[in-house]
Structure 1
Amino acid sequence: MPQLTLPDVRFHASYLDAVREFTDAGQDPAVLESGQLGLYEKAWREPAGFAAYVDMLRAETERPRRPDWVPMTNLWYVEDDTFLGRLSIRHRLTPYLLELGGHIGYVVRLGARRRGHATAMLAAALPVCRQLGIDRALVTCDATNTASRKVIEANGGEFEDRRGIKLRYWIRTGN
């Protein structure tokens, strides 16, 4: 059964497969990293480089990789040794995140889409948000992303407004 877990080196081969899926489809695999793909991309093929990348992701709960970023919890959605997607929970909102980014960002690898993984990932993230002291999580999506809109609404997302190309929803994280 798929579950959220901390990034781990045991998913190295499967993570690289997910990157290849995006590349082969002509899409930017940077969405898997939730940020600067070039930072570790070349080193990923080697176990030591991938381990450094995993360590950096895990450390972001205390030390964001960029000074203008907030602490965030990075989680991977996996089944056995298969990487299915990633989810990031930003611990607080900057003015930019309040406007466009939100507390939670997620992506499912191309080969695992349309199976309910994104809905399950977001549902599993809400108790983690609650533990971080986030009572209501802001989740945004592009206005043209019908699939993500449905994921957010299936998890209780209450539409607030549209700002530019982004739809903004609030989700209660607990009772």
Structure 2
Amino acid sequence: MPELIEPTGRLHAAWLSARAEWGPGAHEDGFGLLPTDDVDSPAGFVAWVERLAGESERCTYRWIVEDDQVLGGIALRHEGHDSVPRAGHIGYGIRPSARRRGLATWALGRMLCEARALGMERLLAVCETENAASARTIERHGGILEDDARNGAVLRYWIRTGESRT
């Protein structure tokens, strides 16, 4: 059974295994990884995890874990976060071998509950236009496409936190 957990240094090897599936340089949105983060060394990994914890007033990070295997990550950017206009309130990624299991839909539902507890009534969720799986995930939770959303490389959806469908 999967669970959402706070990022932890204990899962360094498991996280590296997940990243290896995405390939070099592919940093999924739900992990809050910056190009300057050193996640390969144990000390750098712990520093990165501590940085994420230090951002808890601005962003809630969770890892999707099952049997000590990192399956994905999801981030809830709080109101006022600098990245919200571009990347939305929610960002997530599932490692390729764990896709098509409904994990993103499940994790998004859990994060909608966290957003509601923080007093957030609606969230902006953004996905690339060719990412049909992500669009379906957002739509399963009542995401409404903005009128002008198809004018670029991304789709912009609004989700009411009280309207989660799963």
> Following TM superposition, by how much is the alpha carbon of 1:130 offset from its aligned partner in structure 2, in angstroms?
0.8
Summarize the alignment of residues 114-153 of structure 1 with structure 2, pairs less than 5 Å apart. Answer: 114-153=100-139
CA RMSD of aligned residues (A): 1.9
Pairing 1:31–2:55 present: no
Structure 2 counterpart SS, 1:38: coil
- In structure 1, distance between residues paired with 2:145 and 2:27: 27
> Following TM superposition, by how much is the alpha carbon of 1:95 offset from its aligned partner in structure 2, in angstroms?
7.6
Structure 2 counterpart SS, 1:115: coil
Q: Structure 1's 4 and 94: CA in aligned 2 closer, same or farther, altered over 3 A?
A: closer
- In structure 1, distance between residues paired with 2:71 and 2:161: 23
2:17 is aligned to 17
* Residue type of the alignment partner of 2:115: C
- In structure 2, distance between residues paired with 1:74 and 1:123: 14
Q: Structure 1's 95 and 160: CA in aligned 2 closer, same or farther, altered over 3 A?
A: farther
> What is the aligned-residue identity percentage?
42
Unaligned runs of 5+ in 2: none
2:79 is aligned to 92
- In the TM superposition, what whole-angstrom CA distance separates every residue of 1:40-67 from its partner, at most 9, and x where no partner exists? 23xx332x332221111111113xxxxx
Q: Structure 1's 105 and 45: CA in aligned 2 closer, same or farther, altered over 3 A?
A: same
Q: How many residues align?
A: 160
TM-score normalised over the length of structure 2: 0.87
- In structure 1, distance between residues paired with 2:140 and 2:67: 26
Pairing 1:101–2:87 present: yes
Summarize the alignment of residues 38-117 of structure 1 with structure 2, pairs less than 5 Å apart. Answer: 38-41=36-39, 44-46=40-42, 48-62=43-57, 71-93=58-80, 97-98=84-85, 100-117=86-103
Does the aligned pair in 2 maintain the 1:29–1:37 contact within 8 Å?
no
Range that drifts further, 85-94 or 141-150:
85-94
Does the aligned pair in 2 maintain the 1:10–1:81 contact within 8 Å?
no
2:161 is aligned to 173
